[in-house]
């Protein structure tokens, strides 16, 4: 292990001792927000320190076994221990390096998933509906809760656009790599001559901002235009007769958010404000990383949503993720919500990129 890496773990061990002392103070528990924050940090660091302790123990075992190789009577047993310790050290070293990789502070947040039809007309709208269904099925598998905040249905029953709010554990961490251009190649049901058509949709995944000051973002009421309108689509007589749907426009940027899924105008307004805050926060994030994105295109999550990130090729039953050159011949399974393999591969590729950067800086 590099000395710089070892020193980081020594500092983390000292931080754990500080947290032990702080959490032992009865007054800390009086501030529940601070107490929860400290206990979460303690749990994360404690697991890391335990793993580092195992690493140091196996280092000691390895050193002792190497010394015993010189003893003819102990040599065979010592060789077995050397091999075993070497395997454990490699595994633990990899786990410790991965644990030090920088985490996206938004990973634990809920997320808004926006799916919009692009080029391809009605076929694009139908594909957008397929994508929405895929995310709904995947969320169901994860035990997440989903709300449809707004939707615009096409003539053939697809989606011109649809906005979902997804709530659950590590939602943004798993879905953030879905942002980008999704291309489909298939024979539309309306195609009489059996020709393959290509169409596309865009997906944007935004972390939900904190309710308090929208995660550091202050919205000036004077810069907002709030319109009410009657919700479209299913919803019963009440929705058709009441202007309960809300559309909020942020005048300086022109960014718009709307919500029409609730009968309460007040609740729709609160949800639309949350979507608006997430979009403004994403705009700030994109602007901060614009210079970096211009000089090097990241393996994952470059922020350029015009990029084609994935192709769904129906005639061959193949899904291709172009960012990591992943090819899966299980297209229908993925569209039925079996996204786990795709997301795991993307997260692993991102971790490998971060690890390479960490080793380079060490």
pLDDT digit string, tens, across residues 21-66: 999 988 888 888 888 889 888 988 998 899 999 999 999 999 999 9
- Spatial separation of the C-alpha atoms in residues 33 and 27, rounded to whole Å: 13
Tokens 């994935």 — which residue?
Answer: 310
Alpha helices by DSSP H, the chain: 3-23, 32-68, 75-99, 121-142, 171-175, 213-216, 236-241, 265-288, 290-295, 331-335, 340-361
Where b means 16+ CB within 10 Å and e means fewer, 199-219 reads bbbbbbbbbbbeeeebbeeee
The rounded percent of the chain whose pLDDT value lies above 70 is: 86
Contacts of 289 (CB under 8 A, 6+ apart): 303
| CATH architecture of structural domain 3-99 | Up-down Bundle (1.20)
Sheet with 111-117, edge to edge strand ranges: 145-153, 159-167, 111-117, 197-207, 180-186, 308-313, 318-321, 326-328
Q: Give span(s): CATH 3.30.70.1660, the chain.
A: 111-294+301-350
SS3 169: coil
DSSP designation for 215: H
Task: Pinpoint the residues of the chain covered by CATH 1.20.58.
Answer: 3-99
Tokens of 54: 């195992």
Whether the predicted pLDDT of 241 surpasses 90 = no
* pLDDT tens digits for range 127-180: 999 999 999 999 999 999 999 988 888 888 899 999 999 999 889 999 999 999
Q: Is residue 306 scored above 50 in pLDDT?
A: no
Burial code (b: 16+ CB inside 10 Å, e: under 16) for 75-98 equals: eeebeebbeebeebbeebeeebbe
Q: What is the layout of strands, in order, in the sheet containing 245-250?
A: 224-229, 245-250, 255-259
- Domain 111-294+301-350 bears CATH identifier 3.90.1150.10: no
What digits encode the pLDDT tens for the residues 5-15? 788 889 999 99
User: CB-side exposure of 16: number of CA atoms within 13 Å?
Assistant: 16
Higher pLDDT, 217 or 73: 73
How much is the pLDDT for 358? Answer: 67
- pLDDT tier at 214 (50, 70, 90 boundaries)? very low
Going by C-alpha positions, the residue among 319, 298, 295, 316 that lies closest to residue 307 is 298
Q: How far apart are CA 163 and CA 147, in angstroms?
A: 9
């Amino acid at each position: 292990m590099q000395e710089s890496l070892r020193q980081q773990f020594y500092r983390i061990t000292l931080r754990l001792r500080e947290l032990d002392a702080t959490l032992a103070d009865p007054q800390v528990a009086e501030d529940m927000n601070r107490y929860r924050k400290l206990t979460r940090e303690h749990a994360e660091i404690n697991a890391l320190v335990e793993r580092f302790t195992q690493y140091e123990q196996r280092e000691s075992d390895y050193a002792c076994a190497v010394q015993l190789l010189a003893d003819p009577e102990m040599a065979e047993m010592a060789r077995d221990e050397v091999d075993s310790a070497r395997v454990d050290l490699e595994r633990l070293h990899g786990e410790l390096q991965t644990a030090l990789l920088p985490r996206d502070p938004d990973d634990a947040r809920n997320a808004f998933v926006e799916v919009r039809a692009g080029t391809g007309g009605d076929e694009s709208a139908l594909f957008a509906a397929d994508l929405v269904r895929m995310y709904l099925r995947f969320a169901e598998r994860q035990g997440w809760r989903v709300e449809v905040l707004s939707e615009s249905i096409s003539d053939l029953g697809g989606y011109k656009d649809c906005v979902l709010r997804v709530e659950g554990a590590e939602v943004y961490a798993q879905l953030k790599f879905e942002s980008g251009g999704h291309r489909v190649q298939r024979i539309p049901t309306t195609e009489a001559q059996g020709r393959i058509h290509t169409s596309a949709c865009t997906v944007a995944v935004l972390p939900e901002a904190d309710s308090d000051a929208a995660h550091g973002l202050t919205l000036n009421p004077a810069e907002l235009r709030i319109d009410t309108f009657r919700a479209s689509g299913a919803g019963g007589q009440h929705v058709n007769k009441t202007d309960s749907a809300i559309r909020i426009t942020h005048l300086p940027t022109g960014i718009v958010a709307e919500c029409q899924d609730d009968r309460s105008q007040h609740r729709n307004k609160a949800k639309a404000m949350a979507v608006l805050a997430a979009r403004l926060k994403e705009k700030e994030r994109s602007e901060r990383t614009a210079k970096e994105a211009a000089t090097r295109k990241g393996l994952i999550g470059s922020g350029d949503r015009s990029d084609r990130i994935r192709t769904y090729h129906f005639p061959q039953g193949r899904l291709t993720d172009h960012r990591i050159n992943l090819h899966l011949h299980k297209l229908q399974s993925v569209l039925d919500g079996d996204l786990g393999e795709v997301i795991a591969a993307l997260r692993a590729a991102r971790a490998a990129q971060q690890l390479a950067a960490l080793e380079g800086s060490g």
